[in-house]
Amino acid sequence: QVQLVESGGGLVQAGGSLRLSCAASGRTFGDYNMGWFRQAPGKERDVVAAISWNGGSRYYADSVKGRFTISRSNAKNTVYMQMNSLEPEETAIYYCARVIGGGSSWRALGDNWGQGTQVTVSS
């Protein structure tokens, strides 16, 4: 398994911004598509954004299009997500994971998750 460590979460006011990072262990990071997920209390964990292994293709959930940007550095084994214009309903724990899929259908590969990073958006 790959070890994933998310960071960058915090408390922000509505309309604010955060940049999340996910550092991955291992030499094969560049072989995998990566994604960001979020899980609010009492809700399922849903994919928010995904990026192909070489960064050439990106997917965004409709709710975040135009506000979130996913990117990656294979040299640093890290995937990022810039989140702008945050809304209170986006309060959740954010996770990264290796993903498989394409188009508008992505899912996590296996059950390999980090500890997540808490994002809290106040109104």
pLDDT of residue 73: 96
SS3 8: coil
pLDDT per residue as tens digits for the range 61-101: 999 999 999 999 999 999 999 999 999 999 999 999 999 99
Kindly give, in sequence order, each residue whose CB lies less than 8 Å from that of residue 41, ignoring residues fewer than 6 positions away: none
pLDDT of residue 100: 94
Q: What mean pLDDT is predicted for residues 43-59?
A: 95
CA distance 120 to 51: 24
pLDDT of residue 99: 95
The gap from C-alpha 85 to its chain's centroid, in whole angstroms, comes to 16
Q: Please determine, for residue 27, whether its predicted confidence score (pLDDT) is greater than 80.
A: no
Q: Please determine, for residue 33, whether its predicted confidence score (pLDDT) is greater than 90.
A: yes
Q: What mean pLDDT is predicted for residues 37-63?
A: 96
DSSP-derived secondary structure letter, 53: T
pLDDT grade for 26, boundaries at 50, 70 and 90: confident
